Amino acid sequence: MLSREQVQEILQPIAEATSGKSLIELQLIRDIVIKDKRVSLSAVFLDSSDEYRAELDKVIRQRLEQAGVEDIHIRLREATDYDRKLAFGEEMAPEDEAVLKKGHAAGLEDHALIREDSGVHFIAVASGKGGVGKSTVTVNLAVALARQGKRVGLIDADIYGFSVPDMMGLEEGPEVEGDVIIPVERFGVKVMSMGFFIRENNPVIWRGPMLGKMLRQFLSDVRWGELDYLLLDLPPGTGDVALDLHQMLPQSKEIIVTTPHATAAFVAARAGAMALQTNHEILGVVENMSYYECSSCGDRDYVFGRGGGGRLAETLHTELLAQLPLGIPNNHPSEADFSPSIYKPETTSGKIYADIATSIIEKCEKD
């Protein structure tokens, strides 16, 4: 297996067009991660033309293939002001440099939290589309793991549609000590979300590279402490954040959330296919809103159809972890532990989440 230094040596001859200097020397090829026979990296481009990007991708792949690399994942990024400053020493206002440098977080693969020997189990929760209850599943699974004595962190990586703070009833934001962010803790779960930094529910209008930087900061600049599990609530679909995560955390595992509806399951298969194509283990499928159970007679009504979760699990060659009923937690705002979306442990859904947590622990800690 190649080392990071060997990959840099292989790519050393690739030059930046305007200066003639090596992309490696200019630090425009970064985030090199090697796992088994797979090499993933980021390549920063200064020329935004489609022709240049295609040629850059082609040249990198050719050199790695000649060195015997079979599985290659390249994330192309447009250069930011900080990238240009780093590469060519261009002048920049001190305040802008400080902000950009903090968000840059190069060399993330060396951070203690994400090293493969850190002992942390990373679990990404994904879905093919919005509205299937992915975030609800994430927060309740995180709490269920904490109830079983695990040290749990949760990153609300759904940066456009952040909802975790509201779901968990979090009213206070994180504190900052020096350059380190202290996550907010509730129900034994340490939480970090873009929602803490956006006021009055304003929209987030960012391009892909900035999303990746925020995710990097959540991994590198937050004092997580000792963790057993770190869950990540991904945006729906297969966009930039999912790609960044698969590259930053090649050891992460994934849970796919769907409803029983055939179309929802069909779309969710794309998220599962991305995980498989990037060699990420799928722990299983959670079918949410599987049925509505009448409180008076106990009869079940399959509002969104039946079978979608099972078919999806079969398609992805994994297991159906659970089928959750349609309903909301019976919490009251006057309760001391009120949170809009967390099910109490004695409820039907609370017990199902406990079973999911047990299954996840068995899968992740079997070795």
CATH of the domain at 244: 3.40.50.300
Identify whether residues 290 and 329 lie together within a single domain: yes
What is the residue-averaged pLDDT of the chain?
80
12, 28, 31, 215 from 15: Cα distances, Å: 8, 10, 18, 29
H/E run at residue 137 = helix 134-147
Q: In what order do the strands lie in the sheet with 184-186?
A: 184-186, 189-193, 152-156, 229-233, 121-126, 253-258, 282-287, 320-323
Which of 104, 120, 146 terminates a domain? The answer is 104
Identify whether residues 117 and 49 lie together within a single domain: no
Identify whether residues 50 and 158 lie together within a single domain: no
Whether the predicted pLDDT of 269 surpasses 80: yes
Residue 103 confidence (pLDDT): 39
Contact 219, 113 (CB under 8 A): yes
- Rounded to the nearest 5 degrees, what angle is found at the Cα of 351, between the Cα atoms of 348 and 356? 125
What is the C-alpha end-to-end distance of the chain, expressed in Å?
A: 23
CATH of the domain at 49: 3.30.300.130
Question: How far is Cα 194 from Cα 306, in angstroms, rounded to an integer?
Answer: 35
Residue 97 confidence (pLDDT): 41
Question: In a 3-state reduction of DSSP, which class is residue 332?
Answer: coil
Which of 104, 124, 157 terminates a domain? The answer is 104
Q: What percent of the chain has pLDDT over 90?
A: 31
Identify whether residues 205 and 221 lie together within a single domain: yes
Question: How far is Cα 243 from Cα 76, in angstroms, rounded to an integer?
Answer: 11
Question: How far is Cα 299 from Cα 229, in angstroms, rounded to an integer?
Answer: 37
Q: Work out how many domains the chain is built from and give that number.
A: 2
Where is average pLDDT lowest: 76-90, 160-174, 188-202, 209-223? 76-90
Identify whether residues 14 and 143 lie together within a single domain: no
Q: How confident is the model at residue 238 (pLDDT cuts 50, 70, 90)?
A: low
Contact 186, 168 (CB under 8 A): yes
Which residues are CB-neighbours of 338 under 8 A, at least 6 positions away?
Answer: 169, 331, 332
- Rounded to the nearest 5 degrees, what angle is found at the Cα of 32, between the Cα atoms of 365 and 38? 60
Identify whether residues 68 and 144 lie together within a single domain: no
Residue 158 confidence (pLDDT): 77
Identify whether residues 140 and 84 lie together within a single domain: no
Identify whether residues 160 and 14 lie together within a single domain: no
Tell me the residue range of the domain where 75 lies: 4-104
**3-class SS string, 138-154:** HHHHHHHHHHCCCCEEE
Q: How confident is the model at residue 87 (pLDDT cuts 50, 70, 90)?
A: low
- Rounded to the nearest 5 degrees, what angle is found at the Cα of 33, between the Cα atoms of 31 and 39? 115
Whether the predicted pLDDT of 256 surpasses 90: yes
Identify whether residues 158 and 296 lie together within a single domain: yes
The segment with the largest mean pLDDT, out of 81-90, 324-333, 348-357, is 348-357
Burial code (b: 16+ CB inside 10 Å, e: under 16) for 314-341 equals eebebebbbbbebeebebeeeeeeebeb
96, 97, 111, 244 from 86: Cα distances, Å: 13, 10, 21, 21
Contact 82, 97 (CB under 8 A): yes
**Which residue did the predictor score with more confidence, 187 or 80?**
187
What's the rounded mean pLDDT across residues 234-249?
A: 70
pTM: 0.69
Q: How confident is the model at residue 236 (pLDDT cuts 50, 70, 90)?
A: confident
Identify whether residues 194 and 45 lie together within a single domain: no
Q: Which two tokens stand for residue 252?
A: 């992460």
Identify whether residues 48 and 160 lie together within a single domain: no
What's the rounded mean pLDDT across residues 90-105?
A: 41
Residue ranges of alpha helices (H) inside 48-133 are 50-66, 81-88, 94-104
Contact 211, 241 (CB under 8 A): yes
The segment with the largest mean pLDDT, out of 206-220, 285-299, 324-338, is 285-299
Identify whether residues 88 and 12 lie together within a single domain: yes
| DSSP bridge pairs for 190 | 153, 185
Which of 55, 81, 104 terminates a domain? The answer is 104
